[in-house]
Amino acid sequence: MDDNALSAARLALCERIPSPTEISVSEFLSYYMPPSPADVDLVVDKLAQRSQVLLCKQGFTHHPLLPLSSSTPNWAAYTDTPEVRETSGEYEKDIFADLENIAAQIVECCREIAPHMQPTNELRVNGKKTLSGHVYTSAQPDGLRVLVGMKPSWGSVVLSEEYEPKLRNGVDNYLKIVWNMHQTMRSDYTRRFVFGVTIHNTSVRMWHMNRESLIVSNIFDMNNDYRTFADMHTRFAFASKDELGYDHTMTKLYPNLPKDERYRVKVGGEYYITTQVLENYAAEDNFGHCTRIFRAYKEDDESRDAKYAIKDGWLKRDSQLEVDVYNDIMADIDSHDWSQYSAPPKDVSDFAENVEEWEGLPPIDFKHGTNVDRKRFFMPFIAGERVKARDGRDDDTCAVMARGYSLPPRRQYLALTKAAATSDSSAASKASSARTSQRDGVKGDEKKAAEPSAPPGIFERPTEPRVHHRSVMLLATPLDKIQSVKQAFSLFILHCLKYCHRDVSPYNVFSLDGHGVLGDFEYTKHVASTTRHTWRTGTPNFMAVEVMTGSFMFDRHTTNNRDFVKFAMQHPNSLFAIRRPDSTPELLFRHTLQLPFLVPPYDVEVHESKYRELFPGRIDMAHSRFDHLKDAKTLIKTLSVLPPACTDTVSAPLLLIRHYFMRYYQRQDANSPLHPLMWWMIGHLLCESRGQQIGGDLVPFTFSQRGGFLETPPEDEVDQWDEQEVGDPSIGDVDLATRAADRSTGARHGASFNNR
């Protein structure tokens, strides 16, 4: 175990997420905790009478667990507080082991009151044990509530607890508990939210984490507020799995195999069996839409043909289902008048000789007259739904998880790190000022982990409810996973309908049955939509400059079109691979080619450095891409870093595209559309005519993953299954050899599937 690596990971997580909102104990109990299953006064009365359980190696004791006759009632085990007991030489584990007895006796008191009640979990003091899970961490939670009948693992931990005998700043334990909750959420795909508890001497805080919020209660004293302490244990012990944050529509097939990632998932009234996790953005992001993609087959399909991708995530409450957007697009394709568009130029010379004649025409459909099936250019969605809670309501971070409680605009915040605790903006000062919680990243930026390491953008905004969404689509290969240059340039996206996708990137363009399709409609809006969002949407490397900066960019200068086009034809190497609106430039800059396409003076290190500059993977308020696009000399210099095969082939069409985009940026009338030939230039001239002439395969540059949140497991734990798991009778007749082969196949080919 590398304590330094774990500490760094905890600190990185807590520095990255919003400071938790601190609310009163009564609010936390009323809105976030499971309901109380028994009358707390009756429970306390029984705790004050006698011991209810057999103490290990001690026999029965009739001494009350909670003597109330004293003028200062205390739990009998903590009449001498943990701090005093540690000073007397006791170890921390032994001090807090008494919590097991308290929790067990509370359960027996409740069952004496209502014999039909059965606990769903039990408290265990953990000591120095790590927990199994498919995401490794060396963290050793001080206390665990584990599902009854289950072995301790990150998949069976209902909640974790962190203890500290001394009454001092609890920041270290705050880092630990947030890390533990984060680990539970990323290790168990059935978790919608999770709880935590921290105890410093006798000071207790309760914690709640979901996909939108991190909430912590004010401190209460477990001795002075013994009723609250007993109530907390009662609520946890008898809570249903739904009330503890589990998803009743998703079941782990082999719960005693913590590293196995196969689930039975319900979507649209049908059940699917997942065979592989294709992408997992929830693992590190934790807050936000946290998309996971599973490869799956229908449960009733005897062939077990895993040809589907199940997309699971958390979107804003007013977000439209992707399947509904897809169906709307399909209906609009059927009803759209495709005869209104003009035929494209016969060739480049036809366009160059008649530049002015193409001005003012309706948009050019470069597939005009080909009887193309326009529906085939969109990812087919099979089903989709807002996941329902047990009571039939949409599973909502506010309405369901917080029982409708809305965080006030004027909030008190708890400092998670020592630096924050000692800063001028301490929790106490924040309590008196109105501010909103912070959120980093960009909506739609699902690929941050694969981008160059860079500080993410940070936006302040109010907390907004999120609803659990789930979709089923066909498997396909995302553009960023395609190696063949010819195939990458062959993908075609339809842009004639009045929809704005708002997140076009290589991660959302796919190859399906040999042709390109556009997928991921989470942020797609029709031009007639009245819904407005304050967040910038899109992946930073592909975001429009205006969206990135929040402003329009008009230089108000003009250019002679005919002279410019002639210059472009005569100077094919003098252009820059602009990014917008297709994905070609980022792909060219992010990849090099293999031999023999690399010839002097090409320098791969210069190429890679330029990519990092132009596409940093974050919001670039300096909009350097626009500066490169605007300045001709800079464009020529920038383009020169690409392999000559790329520059020589696509330079002329890119120069034309760049020219008309600059005209668009500089337009006098903000309502003026793009040039009608723009999509012909992109689809035909750039991709079909030129791009597919580039030979060979794309070789991606490698970038360090976003660090800090992942630890390297010891060598003896890498790809090993615990001996206790292999011999566990609850796993049924699963073929472990087949299972190991499945994992190996997934490691080799996992990049070839739908990544969202």
pLDDT in tens, 502-554: 556 666 777 777 777 777 777 666 656 655 554 545 555 555 555 555 544 44
Q: What is the mean pLDDT of residues 161-176?
A: 87
Report how far residue 512's alpha carbon sits from residue 493's, in angstroms, rounded to the nearest whole number. Answer: 13
Residue 94 vs residue 376, higher pLDDT: 94
- The residue-averaged pLDDT of 454-479 equals 71
Q: What is the pLDDT of residue 673?
A: 75
Give the whole-angstrom CA distance, residue 746 versus residue 659.
44
Overall average pLDDT of the 102-112 stretch:
93
Mean pLDDT lowest for which of 197-201, 383-387, 465-469, 541-545?
541-545
Q: Percent of the chain, pLDDT > 90?
A: 34
For the residues 323-347, what does the mean pLDDT come to? 85
564, two tokens: 């410019």
Residue 459 pLDDT exceeds 50: no
And the tokens for 700?
Answer: 């991606």
Give the pLDDT of residue 571: 38
Quick one: average pLDDT of 723-740?
Answer: 34
User: What tens digit of pLDDT does each residue of 75-89 get?
Assistant: 989 999 999 999 999
Confidence at residue 494, expressed as pLDDT on a 0 to 100 scale: 52
- Of 60-69, 276-285, 730-739, which range is least confident? 730-739
Range in 66-70, 98-102, 195-199 with the lowest mean pLDDT: 66-70
Residues 592-630 pLDDT 10s: 788 788 888 898 888 888 888 777 766 555 556 666 666
| Helix boundaries (H) for 435-492 | 485-490
Q: Is the dihedral of CA 98, 104, 106, 108 positive or negative?
A: negative
- What confidence score (pLDDT) does residue 440 get? 37
pTM: 0.79
- With a cut of 70, say whether residue 500 has pLDDT above it: no
Question: pLDDT grade, residue 634 (50/70/90)?
Answer: confident
Q: Are 660 and 565 in contact (CB under 8 A)?
A: no
| 692 vs 60 pLDDT, higher one | 692
pLDDT of residue 411: 80
What's the chain's average pLDDT? 76
pLDDT exceeds 80 at position 576: no
Residue 704 buriedness (CB in 10 A; 0-12 / 13-18 / 19+): exposed
65 vs 38 pLDDT, higher one = 38
- Between residues 171 and 383, the one the model is more confident about: 383
Of 313-317, 339-343, 634-638, 713-717, highest mean pLDDT? 313-317
Q: Which residue has the higher pLDDT, 128 or 469?
A: 469
Q: How far is it, in rounded angstroms, from Cα 735 to Cα 741?
A: 10
For residue 282, give the H/E element and its range: helix 282-285
Which one is predicted more confidently, 174 or 585? 174
Percent with pLDDT over 70 in the chain: 70
Residues 6+ apart with CB under 8 A from 129: 140, 152
In angstroms, the CA 280 to CA 443 distance is 16
Helix (H) and strand (E) counts for the chain?
23, 25
- pLDDT, residue 334, reads 87
Q: Bridge partners of 472?
A: 310, 383
The residue-averaged pLDDT of 392-403 equals 96
pLDDT of res. 337? 82
pLDDT of residue 756: 29
Contact by Cβ (8 Å): 661, 578:
yes
Q: What region does 66 belong to: left with phi over 0, alpha with psi -120 to 50, or beta?
A: beta
Is pLDDT at 68 greater than 80 in this prediction?
A: no
